[in-house]
Amino acid sequence: MLDFGLAKVLEDEPPKSSLTNGPANSPTLTIGHTRTGVILGTAAYMSPEQAVGRPVDRRSDIFSFGAVLYEMLTGKRAFAGATTPDVLEAVVKNDPDWSALPAGTPGYLRRLLERMLTKDRKQRLQAIGEARIALENPNDVGATSLLRKQSRVAWGVAAVAVLAFAGLVAWTFYPRPAPRPPDAVRFTVEPPQGYTLTVNKANGSQFAVSPDGRYVAFLADDRPNSDSLVRTIWVRALGTLAAQKLDKTEGATFPFWSPDSKNIAFFADGKLKRIAVTGGSPVNICDATDGDGGTWSQPEGSSDSSSQGLILFALATASAIQRVPASGGVPTPVTKLAPGEAAHIHPQFLPDGKRFLYFVRSGAKPGIYVQPLGSEQRTFLLETSGRAVYAPPDLVLYLRDNTLLAQHWDWRR
């Protein structure tokens, strides 16, 4: 069993052990007296190509493995003979005695042996890993059918090549219809029964779509009696019709998602908090009175979790955009208010995680600006009376005169 690979070894003389154990059993058999045309190996476990002195590869070792496995199952060699030439002739011309396999041998194992001991290398297993898959998955139809399907690979490749060539000709010489525009998809997100969607005059409905596009988080108000109002975060998977409430989010405003779509940050009780989309207890990130929008970025080169990442957030009072680690800390400003500007609000990270949009309220030139982290140099993007939203891959969405507009934009430049 440790003899595999010796077909590549060159020796000039047979080892002494072959004189005592017999040529058919020798650990390494050498036939020939020059390095040209030398045949190396153990006769009873040689592959056909090895026995006739042809070039060998890993499929030769697979044949040898099959011979050993056959012997382990039957108690006798797959190829036997009285002399070394008889053994080599059996390897080249004869098939093993398949009737010698035990009566209870599983069908998948019989097929595996046949594929390893076939004379034609093109029909043999192409890699020993395929044998491992078949042995580890005896009840897996896919693992055993894979072995049978490989004999049809060559024909399949040829057919694909012909079809690809025909398709190339058709694509080149025949007129093609204009591409059909994608269908518009429209749907509504209804508030839960007994609730109303949270709306304020300045910012409209407060909701956020997850980065992976699978969920929408929104705020809904419940009025259990005329003197109180309970506002909570609800999450709806877009593949379902019902939304689920996140408990312990009473009084929440401006929810926004983590980059991995597993957590939601929000403002409540004078704090910036985060909560897992699956529920649980919220975690305080920092003090944030009267929050007015936020955005969460993932550190470049690392996977995000609830304790990783950077958050930018805004306050409705006269304040610059603030930054804080998602794991918690003391906020620091990243923008600077110019004279006459009331506040910088509604930040949103761009895909590179290094630049962000935000809305400048009032001042000499109100509107949407772009600014890189670590710099106070900002660039004016467009004039609008409210927030703008970046929509991949190259759109900015914003409102003007009660109309939703989309502006193409190369954010990388």
pLDDT tens per residue across all 413 residues of the chain: 445 555 445 444 444 444 445 545 554 554 443 344 455 667 888 889 888 878 888 898 899 999 999 999 999 999 988 888 888 888 888 899 999 999 888 888 888 899 999 999 888 988 888 888 888 877 665 555 555 555 466 567 777 777 887 777 776 666 667 777 777 777 788 888 888 887 765 555 688 999 988 899 999 988 665 566 788 999 999 888 889 999 999 989 999 999 999 999 999 999 999 999 988 999 999 999 888 889 999 765 554 444 478 999 998 887 899 999 999 999 999 999 988 888 899 999 998 888 999 999 888 888 999 999 989 899 999 888 888 899 888 899 998 888 889 999 888 88
What does CATH list as the number for 195-408? 2.120.10.30
Q: How far apart are CA 30 and CA 10, in angstroms?
A: 9
pLDDT at 191: 82
pLDDT reported for residue 349 = 93
Closest alpha carbon to 268 in 245, 300, 291: 291
The per-residue b/e assignment along 360-391, b for 16 or more CB within 10 angstroms, e otherwise, is bbeeeebbbbbbeeeeeebeebeebebbbebe
| Distance separating alpha carbons of residues 341 and 158, to the nearest angstrom | 69
pTM of the entire structure? 0.55
pLDDT the model gives residue 85: 83
Q: CA–CA separation, 302 vs 299, rounded Å?
A: 6
Cβ-based neighbours of 384, under 8 Å, separated by 6 or more = 359, 367, 368, 398, 399, 400
Q: What is the pLDDT of residue 227?
A: 61
114, 108 Cβ separation under 8 angstroms = no
Residues 6+ apart with CB under 8 A from 98: 110, 114
The alpha carbon of residue 131 and the mean position of all alpha carbons in its chain are separated, in whole angstroms, by 27
Spatial separation of the C-alpha atoms in residues 61 and 50, rounded to whole Å: 10
| CATH 2.120.10.30 placement within the chain | 195-408
Q: How far is CA 60 from CA 47, 129, 240, in A?
A: 5, 14, 55
Identify whether the C-beta of residue 306 lies closer than 8 Å to the C-beta of residue 328: no
CA distance 51 to 48: 5
Q: Which helix (H) or strand (E) holds 39?
A: strand 39-41
| Beta carbons within 10 angstroms of residue 242's beta carbon | 9
Distance CA 42, CA 4 (A): 9
CA 83 to chain centre: 57
CATH 1.10.510.10 occupies which residues in the chain?
Answer: 6-155
Q: Is CATH 1.10.510.10 what the domain over 6-155 is classified as, yes or no? A: yes
232 has which bridge partners?
220
Nearest to 111 by CA among 131, 140, 90, 137: 131
